[in-house]
Amino acid sequence: MSDSDLPVVLIVEDEPDVAETYKLWLQQEYEVRMAQNGDEGLEQLDADVDVVLLDRMMPGLSGDEVLERIRERKLGCRVAMVTAVEPDFDILEMGFDAYLSKPIRSEQLHETVDNLLDRSEYDSLLQEYYALVEKQATLEATKSSAELAESDQYDELTQRVAEMRDDLSETLGGIEDDSDFIATLRGLSDDEDN
């Protein structure tokens, strides 16, 4: 996120009319940056960018090459390919988060950006949850039951883990315990792999 506290969307599109249309659709809810080619897009890409809308066919660096460089930088942004190129099996090797075929509608673009932002937020929550569970497991493996029972910090950690599990459970749809949670995550992972 940027200084404006609005999510930042970077539009990398070589057709000025198309880029301007996307900007008009999005500028009320997001801070919008625009780049007319891949090199310019990479110059404008920084840690503040939350979502990149990336055209696949551009002169100079193609969208595929830009996507590869974005992933090499290991920035946490989500990338949606927004393109007139019909998807083929080559997309299986590409690291994008969404693929939109032109022409697209305003609602479709908004929905995609919102979904990508939600996914980023969820990923952060999941990472935090796992970090806390790891700390909890480490303490439980190294401290006695009496030491754990006397520790206010451990009690706070346990409460935070339970709260996060509840938050994640609501997002994932009714998970009762850690075994359900793990099974659900494995199911999601299997769905993504297929």
The answer to whether residues 89 and 134 belong to one domain is no
Domain-ending residue, one of 77, 103, 129: 103
The answer to whether residues 98 and 140 belong to one domain is no
Tell me the pLDDT tens digit for each residue of 96-112: 888 888 999 999 999 99
Tell me the pLDDT tens digit for each residue of 78-98: 999 998 877 767 676 778 888
* pTM for this predicted structure: 0.67
Tell me the pLDDT tens digit for each residue of 112-122: 999 888 877 77
The answer to whether residues 16 and 96 belong to one domain is yes
Q: Range of 126's domain?
A: 119-184
CA 60 to chain centre: 27
Mean pLDDT throughout 153-182? 73
1 occurs within a structural domain: no
What is the token pair recorded at 77?
A: 């942004």
Count up the domains in the chain and report the number: 2
Q: What is the pLDDT of residue 192?
A: 46
Does the pLDDT at position 188 exceed 70?
A: no
Least confident of 7-11, 39-43, 155-159, 169-173: 169-173
30 occurs within a structural domain: yes
Does the pLDDT at position 172 exceed 70?
A: no
